């Protein structure tokens, strides 16, 4: 289902994200367009030194075309390539890490505002580590290959190893996103210290089975607090119910009781003539931003996530599984 919301928050985030990517990717801070083009390197199977020499020449050509100063090897991330030891800054993170991260953020702020965005039609990017320690990023079937540094805006740090990259893509650190759950379409259950975040739809069968499992296990609700974020993942009927739930009931605990009662429980709520829907729309924006494509979508306290209801919720939360044991309900595209 298409999600309608104000584009300003997303535009602001994209601007910040792209600025950081440009700054740490490969080119000079004064040439964001050059950085964007230079970071897309052709896939080569020949000599590594020759490949990076062609990359350097390409960057210099692009810089000349745009009338900007040619970036140095250090700015392009090519320093120490010729030593046979790989890029030391990227591979080993030479120098004080905190100072390096601070420099990256400062560099990001110097990049000029985004002028143009081109959708490259990339659906998947794989990080590949070579035997010499070099990390490259291959898009889809290999047409585009990116080189340079990756900065995780959520964790606010540069990812320098393949292990750090693997961990970053397999976990969602919600603490770094400054989410104010109480302002969203939140239904809460439990009193535990650790929080579990679950995206659900009012008409999703697996979501209700998951809610019933939580209610049935007293030890779960004592150990965890379950934050159910209600989104209209399954179409128009779900949208009416999700919006009505948000507008009619502001208490998160009571909202859970109504949500668990299903369609009939929500339809019994009194309609609100005046409803500020910003929080409702922000909930959908959050789901889209996190890549929630199906429900239920469960995020454990340690950041691991499950696309669908885990075969054993307790087992998943204790770290004995990394993904779902059931087929989730896909978000509607209509």
Position 192 scores a pLDDT of 95
The answer on pLDDT for 11 being more than 80 is: no
Segment 29-64, tens digit of pLDDT: 333 433 344 344 333 334 445 555 655 566 566 556
- Tokens 């993904």, residue? 323
Domains identified in the chain and CATH numbers: 8-170 (no CATH), 176-330 (3.40.30.10)
Q: How far, in Å, CA of 23 to CA of 108, rounded? A: 5
CA dihedral for 102, 28, 121, 129, sign (positive or negative): negative
3-state secondary structure of 213: helix
> What interhelical angle do 252-260 and 236-248 show, nearest 10?
140
Helices (H), the chain: 8-25, 32-38, 48-65, 73-76, 88-92, 97-110, 162-170, 205-216, 218-223, 236-248, 252-260, 262-267, 278-289, 313-317
| Residue 193 exposed, middle or buried by CB count within 10 Å (0-12, 13-18, 19+) | exposed
- Tokens 């007293």, residue? 218
Q: How far, in Å, CA of 94 to CA of 85, rounded? A: 13
Beta-strand pair 125-129/305-307: unpaired
Q: How far, in Å, CA of 312 to CA of 298, rounded? A: 12
User: Phi/psi of residue 106, each to 5°?
Assistant: -65, -40
Segment 184-212, tens digit of pLDDT: 999 999 999 999 999 999 999 999 999 99
Please tell me whether the peptide bond between 54 and the residue prior to it is cis, using omega within 30 degrees of 0. Answer: no
More confident residue, 46 or 272: 272
Judge whether 33 and 66 are in contact, CB under 8 Å.
yes
The answer on pLDDT for 255 being more than 60 is: yes
Q: Is the entire prediction scored with pTM above 0.75?
A: no
Q: How far, in Å, CA of 99 to CA of 3, rounded? A: 40
Task: Tell me the average pLDDT across 80-97.
Answer: 40
Which residue, 280, 305, 282, 285, is CA-closest to 295? 305
User: Phi/psi of residue 113, each to 5°?
Assistant: -55, 150
Tokens found for residue 276: 């500020």
């Amino acid at each position: 289902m298409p999600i309608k919301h104000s584009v300003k928050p997303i535009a602001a985030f994209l601007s910040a994200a792209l600025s950081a990517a440009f700054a740490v990717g490969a080119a000079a801070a004064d040439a964001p367009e050059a950085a964007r083009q230079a970071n897309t390197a052709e896939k080569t199977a020949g000599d590594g030194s020759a490949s990076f020499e062609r990359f350097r020449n390409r960057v210099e050509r692009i810089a000349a075309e745009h009338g900007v100063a040619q970036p140095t090897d250090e700015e392009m991330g090519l320093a120490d390539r010729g030593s046979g030891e790989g890029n030391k800054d990227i591979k080993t993170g030479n120098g004080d890490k905190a100072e390096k991260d601070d420099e990256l953020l400062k560099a990001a702020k110097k990049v000029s505002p985004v002028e143009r965005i081109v959708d490259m039609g990339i659906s998947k990017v794989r990080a590949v580590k070579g035997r010499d320690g070099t990390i490259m990023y291959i898009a889809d079937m290999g047409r585009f290959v990116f080189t340079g540094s990756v900065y995780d805006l959520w964790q606010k740090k540069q990812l320098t190893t393949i292990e750090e990259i693997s961990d970053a893509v397999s976990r969602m650190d919600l603490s770094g996103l400054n989410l104010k759950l109480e302002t969203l379409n939140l239904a809460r259950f439990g009193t535990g210290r650790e929080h579990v975040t679950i995206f659900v739809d009012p008409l999703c069968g697996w979501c209700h089975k998951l809610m019933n499992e939580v209610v049935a296990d007293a030890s779960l609700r004592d150990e965890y607090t379950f934050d159910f974020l209600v989104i209209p993942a399954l179409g128009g009927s779900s949208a009416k119910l999700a919006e009505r739930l948000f507008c009619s009931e502001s208490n998160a605990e009571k909202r859970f009781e109504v949500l668990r009662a299903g369609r009939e429980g929500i339809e019994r709520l009194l309609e609100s003539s005046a409803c500020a829907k910003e929080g409702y729309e922000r909930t959908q924006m959050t789901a889209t931003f996190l890549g929630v494509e199906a429900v239920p979508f469960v995020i454990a306290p340690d950041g691991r996530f499950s696309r669908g209801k885990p075969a054993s919720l307790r087992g998943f939360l204790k770290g004995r599984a990394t993904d779902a044991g059931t087929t989730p309900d896909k978000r509607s595209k209509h």
